[in-house]
Structure 1
Amino acid sequence: MPPHLDLSTTYSHADMILSSRNSPRLSLRRATSYTNDRGPMSSTSSRFSFNHLISSPPPSPGLPALVPRHGRPVPTRSKRTYLRALLWLLGVSVILYYGFTRMRLDRSKKQVGWATNSGDEYEMVGDSELPDFPTPVVVTDKRGRTKWTVSIPVDAAFPLEPHQYAEICTQNTEVANHVADLHAHMHRPHSHYGYYHVDPYFMDVAEAEEHGLLPGPKGKKNMKAQDGSVVGEYADSLIVQDVCETSMTFVLETSDAGLGKTLMMLWSAYGLAQKEGRAFFVDDSRWAYGKFESFFRPPPMPKCRPPPRHEMLPCPHHARHLVVSAATAVHTFGGAFNEEFEDPRKMEVYRQKPMFDFARAGYLALFQLADADRVYVQNRVSELRLRTLLEPPEPENGLIIGVHVRHGDRHPYEFQYRDSYVPLERYGEKARDVLHQTFNGTGLDGGENMAAEMRSLFIVASDDPDVYESDEFSHASRAQEQIRLASKTAVGESQPTGGSAIRKFVDETVGWEGGFFAGMFWSLGKPSSIPINAMETPETKLLATEEAFRLRELVGRAYLMDLAVLGEASDRIVCTVSSMGCKLLAVMMGWENAVVNGRWVNIDGDFEWRGVSW
């Protein structure tokens, strides 16, 4: 009997060889098997058995296979699977987009830096030290929140140069947009904001110093005293007042030689400060006319002291301490100012009443002439009014009709006269028309009141001395006779002429032919050694001499007293609205008299009253 063979052991070994060498000759399956099952791949498989050695008939061709032919389940993809994949892909795309956007912003502009003031283009520069010039600065607090403020060195001269104030406002817009982009993680177009828009990412100077983001006065050694000359501030007072919570400081500095624009801005700034609850200060340290107190009494002082000079910012408008000057008029009194305060329910000039009220409040508070000039104006007004009084039983007294004529470098708005001036005949005709219309039908018999007309006066104020000698106004009275701006002809006729061989030296005659010109003003008190063909513009930055300030003071006092007499004495005023003095006279008359009752008469086209121009 043949020996017993262990088939499982033998097969297992053979199968191991088969697996390693892959030899087909050692296959134990029948060549004519009906099944297509190839059996296990290894003897170690848990599914190994001899069932594959047993032949079985093929399955019925009409029945589906119970097991998939390829040995793996057929995937079934539902709509939920596709939706889940789409959401996953969308989420990954959003994360990558914000990541790359943040990397691009961080790479192009760092979160700590300042705007350079070289040229008109500004860029953010990262560094660890503050610059030594005024500029907006991007800062990051301890929590990593990015904000911006304005850094002005505490030892910088006050006030800053006009172009520096203008640059700060321009740079502030750029930096504010940059910080807003950092918080939004993307660059987006920035819309127009209202006048009282509050930037949530702006940090005031005092707040930045409290958080240690700006050094402040304590961070500077040997800090000098505060610069500037705030009118009415008594630095040596024994009573130490607290710093005002909010304030507005008006800087009397402009490249415009005239006084009109400065006065309108000054009055409007005061009214705006009162509306916003800010303490108001005036600085005259670089005023072309000299000291404020040479012309006016000190303004009313608040019960607090001005803030440190480096905390006074030209913008944004919601800063705690504002500084306003002619250089920043477009930001303080520009389009956003008009949009905020124009009355949309009214028409024409009546839309301007809120701005008129601002200027009127400033006039009442600040237009208080110095003692000597104020006494003269009061006496002059009383004298003129006495000349219009009639004895009873006359029902009415005469009128005082004021006429303001501006020549020089100020030309009319009306097209046909824009290269010259409104003819003096139009002033005279309009003044006579106003007189006749006022007294027509007011007489005792219902006719014209000739007695009142005969008692009426025409008073004239002009920057052109030749106007007083013209045929139209030779019979009129001057508004004031304290200071006269004469022409060379008039001055030459007043000089003594004798036959003596020894003649006393007389300074060169300076006349005002044609009116007030900026070049003439800037040249006052300077040597006349300029060539005849010189065309250079007078340098306005040079420090004026004492003689120049004395002559400028006379010019300014004459202008202010003319306005004061016309504004206080006149019952009607005829002028051209293109002149700032004309618009100031409307403010001095008041809204009811000037606009509602029509006693302020413009003869320069159909233009209306407007406030600050920039």
Structure 2
Amino acid sequence: MPAHLDLAKTYTHADMILSSRKSPRLSLRPAPFTSLDKSPLSSTSSRFNFNHLIVSPPPSPGLPALVPRHGKPIPTHTPRRCLRAALWLAGVLVILYYGFSRLQLDHGMKPVGWATHSGDQYEMVGESELPDFPTPVVVTDGRGRAKWTVSIPPDHEFPLEPKQYAEICTQNMEVANHVADLHSHIHHQHAAHYGYYHVDPNFMDVAEAEVHGLLPGPKAKTSMKEHGSLIGEKKDGLIESGVCEKTMTFLLETHDAGLGKMLMMLWTAYGLAQKEGRHFFIDDSRWVYGKYTNFFKAPPLPACRPPPRHEMLPCPHHARHLVVSAVTAAQTFGGAFNEEFENPRKMEVYRQKPVFDLARQGYQALFRLNEADQKYVDERSLSLLDKTLRPPPEDQNGIIVGIHVRHGDRHPYEFQYRDSYVPLDRYAEKAQDLLHNAFNDSNGDGEVNAMAEAHSLFVVASDDPEVYESEEFSHASRAQEQIRLASNKVLESSKPSPAAAIRKFVEDSVGWEGGFFAGMFWSLGKPTSVPATAVEAPDTKLPPTEEALRLRELVGRAYLMDLAVLGRASDRVVCTVSSMGCKLLAVMMGWENAVVDGRWVNIDGDFEWRGVSW
């Protein structure tokens, strides 16, 4: 038999043996024929064939069924897989959030550095050295955390220009918001304003910044130019006192020619300094009226000395050494100040009691006229009071009704008189009513004490000389006669006759028809070629002449003595609350007399007493 036939029989026999060993219970069906079932072209391809992985054999009877029994769905998501997916999703969202936040922060904020003023926009510009002008700066502490402070060159002239103080306060707000955004890693909308005693945790005081080496230290202080003079500073002494812990320096400078607004601000600032435990100083180097000591006695001297001038900041308010001036009135006496000190549990004018008390404290400490003027005020007040006394055994004396009339460039609040002035007959009628009510039923039998009323006086103070000559007040007494603001009509009548051969020299005089006007004030001391009534804006760069200061001093002293006599001698006061002098008179009378007892009467509408106007 040929060999190949034997081999075929052998293979056939083997097949029979395998078939006989199969379980009779297992019925196998061949899978449908596909192209994948083709025999390999070679032994190599047959050895590495993956067809058995693609076409799976039927499941074994002992393995779990692919289709769950009883119709249950196939569990496709396990709790671990859901948790993993949630974590991945949260991570992606966090990455996207910080990415967009960083893009928004980088787009909205400028690089850290010095704050400079460019037009109406404030930008942060990186620099390697401190600027040579006053400006807030951003610094970093030892841990790399951003802080901000105010850099004023130690050799800079003091006080700064009013515009510079205003710019520093505006820039401080921008820089404070910028540093707050750096700490929060996001640019968000900041509050319109904070509480009056809000403390910015990112602010570093000048002295603290110097200790950390972030600003020039004590060596740079030796070249400081201190041209300004501080009232209350001890300049002579064998032992130099230490620097005050906390101070407030009030700058007597304003573009407003009026004296009343400055006085109210000065008194309130002093009371505020006492409440906050600050030592108080006054700077008069740029006061339009001249030297403070020409009008008042020096304020009480503290036991310490003022700080270096470059440490005096206009804001923030919690700075150790604060500067207060007319240009920073909105920061010091603005809305936050009223929210802090007004009494919310009271109604109407009684809400202003805490603010009134601050001004009253300043009046009692600072309103001390120079020796000559104070002597005249005392004598004038006593002479007026003597006229109201009745001889014994009468115990009912007359009273003094003070009347303050403000004309000039100050118009009333009341709508119908806002373009003119309150008529003088309203002053006279209200004064007469107060006088009548004071003695009505004073004897207990319903009769008026006519004798006491006859011994009463009307005392008038006004910036308009024509008021004294009016029909309503021609019989009234002047508050003071030491310095008079005369009208042109009076000046013409007082001139010597041209027929006289020899006459004494008479200075040029200026009439005050209509009252006190800012243009008239600024023109004092000008050459005669310039019209005396010319309205000119003050040029603060040019110092006033000695003649201008002398005339301004006379105007200021007349105003102060008018207030001093009315505030001291008057039992009742009639005035218009639109005038700052009227508000000052209320402070001088005191809260009980002026408000509680109603002896301070306003005839300018239904408006009430308020303090500093800004």
Same fold by TM (over 0.5)? Answer: yes
2:555 — aligned with what? 555
- Displacement of 1:101: 3.3
The one-letter code matched in structure 2 to 1:514 is G
8 Å contact from structure 1 (residues 439, 453) kept in 2: yes
1:332 — aligned with what? 332
1:24 — aligned with what? 40
2:351 — aligned with what? 351
The one-letter code matched in structure 1 to 2:129 is E
Cα distance, 1:186–1:218 mapped onto 2, change above 3 Å: same
3-state SS of paired residue (1:117): strand
The one-letter code matched in structure 1 to 2:214 is L
8 Å contact from structure 1 (residues 253, 288) kept in 2: yes
Q: Quick check: 1:128 aligned with 2:128? A: yes
8 Å contact from structure 2 (residues 114, 126) kept in 1: yes
- Displacement of 1:84: 1.9
Structure 2 Cα separation of the partners of residues 256 and 534 of structure 1: 17
1:492-524 deviations in Å (ceiling 9; x for gaps)? 111111414566664433011100001111111
1:137-286 equivalent positions in 2, closer than 5 A = 137-191=137-191, 192-219=193-220, 223-286=223-286
1:34-73 equivalent positions in 2, closer than 5 A = 41=49, 59=58
Structure 1 Cα separation of the partners of residues 417 and 107 of structure 2: 58
2:374 — aligned with what? 374
- When structure 1 is superposed on structure 2, of 115-124 and 340-349 the one drifting more is 115-124
Count of aligned residue pairs for this structure pair: 569
1:436 — aligned with what? 436
- Displacement of 1:64: 7.5
1:312-369 deviations in Å (ceiling 9; x for gaps)? 1111111111000000000000000000111011000000000000000000000000
- Displacement of 1:90: 1.7
- Displacement of 1:389: 0.3
1:482 — aligned with what? 482
Structure 2 Cα separation of the partners of residues 445 and 25 of structure 1: 144
8 Å contact from structure 1 (residues 227, 309) kept in 2: no
- When structure 1 is superposed on structure 2, of 126-135 and 491-500 the one drifting more is 491-500
- Displacement of 1:272: 0.4
Structure 1 Cα separation of the partners of residues 127 and 449 of structure 2: 81
Structure 2 Cα separation of the partners of residues 171 and 102 of structure 1: 24
2:11 — aligned with what? none
1:400-442 deviations in Å (ceiling 9; x for gaps)? 0000000000000000000000000000000000000110111
Structure 2 Cα separation of the partners of residues 303 and 531 of structure 1: 49
The one-letter code matched in structure 2 to 1:171 is Q
Structure 2 Cα separation of the partners of residues 533 and 365 of structure 1: 37
3-state SS of paired residue (1:315): coil
- Displacement of 1:83: 3.0
1:460 — aligned with what? 460
Structure 1 Cα separation of the partners of residues 532 and 286 of structure 2: 30
Identical-residue share of aligned pairs (%): 72
8 Å contact from structure 2 (residues 577, 604) kept in 1: yes
Q: TM-score, normalised by structure 2?
A: 0.87
Unaligned runs of 5+ in 1: 6-21, 30-37, 43-51, 53-57, 69-73
- Displacement of 1:303: 1.1
Structure 2 Cα separation of the partners of residues 384 and 289 of structure 1: 29
- Displacement of 1:446: 3.8
2:83 — aligned with what? 83
Cα distance, 1:213–1:108 mapped onto 2, change above 3 Å: farther
The one-letter code matched in structure 2 to 1:603 is I
2:18 — aligned with what? none
- When structure 1 is superposed on structure 2, of 85-94 and 411-420 the one drifting more is 85-94
1:604 — aligned with what? 604
Structure 1 Cα separation of the partners of residues 607 and 110 of structure 2: 51
1:10 — aligned with what? none
- When structure 1 is superposed on structure 2, of 359-368 and 113-122 the one drifting more is 113-122
3-state SS of paired residue (2:389): coil
Structure 2 Cα separation of the partners of residues 23 and 479 of structure 1: 132
The one-letter code matched in structure 2 to 1:26 is S
3-state SS of paired residue (2:265): helix
8 Å contact from structure 2 (residues 519, 534) kept in 1: no
Structure 1 Cα separation of the partners of residues 39 and 505 of structure 2: 138
Structure 2 Cα separation of the partners of residues 239 and 369 of structure 1: 31
Unaligned runs of 5+ in 2: 8-37, 68-73
Structure 2 Cα separation of the partners of residues 179 and 28 of structure 1: 74
- Displacement of 1:75: 9.7
8 Å contact from structure 2 (residues 519, 536) kept in 1: no
- Displacement of 1:99: 4.7
1:426-476 deviations in Å (ceiling 9; x for gaps)? 000000000001101113754100000000001000000000000100100
1:18 — aligned with what? none
- When structure 1 is superposed on structure 2, of 106-115 and 552-561 the one drifting more is 106-115
1:564 — aligned with what? 564
Structure 2 Cα separation of the partners of residues 510 and 150 of structure 1: 47
- Displacement of 1:301: 1.6
3-state SS of paired residue (2:542): coil
Structure 2 Cα separation of the partners of residues 232 and 402 of structure 1: 34
1:115 — aligned with what? 115
8 Å contact from structure 1 (residues 402, 574) kept in 2: yes
8 Å contact from structure 2 (residues 156, 224) kept in 1: no
- Displacement of 1:219: 3.8
3-state SS of paired residue (2:95): helix
8 Å contact from structure 1 (residues 486, 511) kept in 2: yes
Structure 2 Cα separation of the partners of residues 75 and 151 of structure 1: 70
3-state SS of paired residue (2:229): coil
8 Å contact from structure 1 (residues 110, 126) kept in 2: no
3-state SS of paired residue (2:497): coil
1:17 — aligned with what? none
- When structure 1 is superposed on structure 2, of 412-421 and 105-114 the one drifting more is 105-114
Structure 1 Cα separation of the partners of residues 532 and 611 of structure 2: 39
- Displacement of 1:82: 2.5
1:29-62 deviations in Å (ceiling 9; x for gaps)? 9xxxxxxxx86559xxxxxxxxx9xxxxx75899
3-state SS of paired residue (1:492): helix
8 Å contact from structure 2 (residues 523, 535) kept in 1: no
8 Å contact from structure 2 (residues 422, 604) kept in 1: yes
- Displacement of 1:87: 1.9
2:407 — aligned with what? 407
8 Å contact from structure 1 (residues 522, 540) kept in 2: no
8 Å contact from structure 2 (residues 242, 305) kept in 1: yes
**Pairwise CA RMSD:** 2.7
1:95 — aligned with what? 95
2:71 — aligned with what? none
Structure 1 Cα separation of the partners of residues 319 and 91 of structure 2: 42
Q: TM-score, normalised by structure 1?
A: 0.87
The one-letter code matched in structure 2 to 1:242 is G
- Displacement of 1:568: 0.3
Structure 2 Cα separation of the partners of residues 377 and 243 of structure 1: 38
Structure 1 Cα separation of the partners of residues 352 and 556 of structure 2: 28
8 Å contact from structure 2 (residues 158, 225) kept in 1: no
Cα distance, 1:64–1:483 mapped onto 2, change above 3 Å: same
3-state SS of paired residue (2:117): coil
The one-letter code matched in structure 1 to 2:259 is L
1:55-106 deviations in Å (ceiling 9; x for gaps)? xxx75899978899xxxxx994324313322222322331343255346645
Structure 1 Cα separation of the partners of residues 225 and 129 of structure 2: 24
Structure 2 Cα separation of the partners of residues 97 and 609 of structure 1: 54
8 Å contact from structure 1 (residues 290, 549) kept in 2: yes
Structure 1 Cα separation of the partners of residues 173 and 531 of structure 2: 45
1:16 — aligned with what? none
Structure 2 Cα separation of the partners of residues 251 and 557 of structure 1: 20
